[in-house]
């Protein structure tokens, strides 16, 4: 057990808030604090102390040694950098709405991905950020004060009317619904520490897990089907921080089976150089769709566990922007 625990150490990732600063300036800031810039690498297991490097896949992400404490850092306090795990930066990057797009962040709070979207769009266009948890939405509002403007709305995405004129030009939806969180490293303990359970406890927790996953996956599927109803939407990014196929491959497959309008985006648009893809054996995958998913595995990718899929409208229509 201690071996597994030791191997799951992820670097300190910092996302540069490109609304306020640049990657170059942030590197200079750390160099002035005694950090040395090193080349991007794949194997992030042993990062030398006081080093900084660019990430290999995401242009606005920098990598520091694990546990580097930045809570007192001036750039963190000013919102110029955001402490965000790499996996959590992938959805907005894959979405990459062009300037002036209209975007819905359907499950937005506390707003890490919303702020990433607004940075990618350089604060042009519009983002509607929904969340039905008031407390978490307040965190989003606070973050967005530092990181750029969006309209935060306290409402269930399922109650948002897709026919409302306001959303008629929404071309992109980011859907990061509640999930089991089973990929988050400090929650992986349940996988590691199960050894002292009795058989009865183990059967019970298995049943509980199955029921919970069933409820979550039904909810996740509903959210995707609702997103399909927005008439101008061209791209829907679905993500979870779950490692369970029930919330990932299975949900996507069921949603695909219920639409004639959307297909999965090509692997070429889904970080093609990223090695870890969907689990083919989890679905009837005659068409090879698992290749089009992105998965992250804490043990091998030095991030939290994660899953990303992208639906695109079959006949792409030009997106109206302001």
Is residue 312 a contact partner of residue 294, using CB atoms and an 8 Å limit? no
Residue 112 counted as an annotated binding residue: yes
Q: Which is nearer to ligand SAM, 53 or 295 (CB)?
A: 295
Q: Which is nearer to ligand SAM, 68 or 220 (CB)?
A: 220
Q: Closest separation between CB of residue 173 and ligand SAM, Å? A: 12
Q: Closest separation between CB of residue 145 and ligand SAM, Å? A: 15
Report the C-alpha gap between 297 and 304 in whole angstroms. 7
Q: Which of 89, 95, 241, 310 is catalytic?
A: 241
Is residue 234 a contact partner of residue 312, using CB atoms and an 8 Å limit? yes
Q: Which is nearer to ligand SAM, 11 or 177 (CB)?
A: 177
Report the C-alpha gap between 316 and 115 in whole angstroms. 26
Residue 310 counted as an annotated binding residue: no
Q: Which is nearer to ligand SAM, 131 or 249 (CB)?
A: 131
241 given a catalytic annotation? yes
Report the C-alpha gap between 273 and 290 in whole angstroms. 15
Residue 108 counted as an annotated binding residue: yes
Q: Closest separation between CB of residue 101 and ligand SAM, Å? A: 18
Residue 24 counted as an annotated binding residue: no
Residue 164 counted as an annotated binding residue: no
- Of 6, 29, 98, which Cα lies nearest the Cα of 320? 98
> Contact positions toward ligand SAM, by CB under 6 A?
88, 107-113, 130-133, 136, 156-158, 176-178
Q: Closest separation between CB of residue 87 and ligand SAM, Å? A: 11
Q: Which two tokens stand for residue 239?
A: 């993500």
Report the C-alpha gap between 152 and 312 in whole angstroms. 25
Residue 215 counted as an annotated binding residue: no
Q: Which is nearer to ligand SAM, 30 or 130 (CB)?
A: 130
Q: Which two tokens stand for residue 41?
A: 């690498």
Report the C-alpha gap between 118 and 8 in whole angstroms. 31
Tell me the backbone φ, ψ of residue 240, rounded to 5 degrees: -140, 160
Give, as one character, the DSSP assignment of residue 185. G
Q: What is the DSSP string of 147-160?
A: H---EEEES-GGGS
Q: Closest separation between CB of residue 105 and ligand SAM, Å? A: 7
Residue at shortest CB range from ligand SAM: 107
- How many whole angstroms from its chain centre is CA 32? 31
Binding residues for S-adenosyl-L-methionine: 107-113, 131, 176
Binding residues: 107-113, 131, 176
Active site residues: 241
């Amino acid at each position: 057990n201690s071996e597994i625990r030791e191997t799951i150490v992820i670097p300190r990732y910092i996302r540069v808030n490109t609304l306020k600063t640049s990657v170059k300036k942030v590197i200079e800031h750390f160099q002035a604090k005694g950090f040395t810039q090193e080349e991007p690498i794949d194997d992030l297991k042993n990062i030398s102390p006081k080093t900084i490097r660019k990430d290999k896949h995401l242009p606005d992400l920098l990598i520091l040694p694990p546990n580097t404490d930045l809570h007192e850092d001036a750039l963190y306090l000013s919102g110029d950098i955001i402490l965000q795990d790499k996996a959590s930066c992938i959805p907005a990057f894959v979405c990459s709405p062009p300037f002036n797009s209209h975007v819905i962040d359907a499950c937005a709070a506390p707003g890490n991905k919303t702020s990433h979207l607004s940075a990618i769009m350089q604060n042009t266009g519009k983002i509607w950020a929904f969340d039905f948890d008031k407390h978490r939405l307040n965190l989003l509002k606070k973050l967005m004060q530092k990181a750029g403007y969006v309209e935060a709305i306290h409402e269930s995405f399922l109650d948002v009317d897709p026919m409302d004129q306001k959303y008629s030009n929404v071309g992109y939806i980011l859907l990061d619904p509640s999930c089991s969180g089973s990929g988050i490293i400090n929650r992986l303990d349940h996988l590691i520490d199960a050894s002292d359970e009795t058989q009865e406890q183990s059967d019970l927790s298995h049943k509980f897990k199955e029921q919970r996953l069933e409820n979550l996956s039904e909810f996740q599927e509903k959210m995707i089907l609702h997103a399909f109803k927005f008439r101008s939407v061209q791209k829907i990014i679905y993500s979870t921080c779950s490692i369970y196929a029930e919330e990932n491959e299975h949900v996507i497959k069921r949603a695909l089976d219920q639409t004639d309008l959307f297909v999965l985006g090509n692997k070429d648009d889904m970080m093609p150089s990223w090695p870890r893809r969907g689990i083919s054996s989890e679905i009837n995958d005659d068409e090879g769709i698992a290749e089009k998913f992105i998965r992250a595995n804490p043990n091998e990718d030095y991030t939290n566990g994660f899953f990303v899929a992208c639906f695109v409208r079959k006949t792409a229509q030009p997106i109206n922007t302001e």
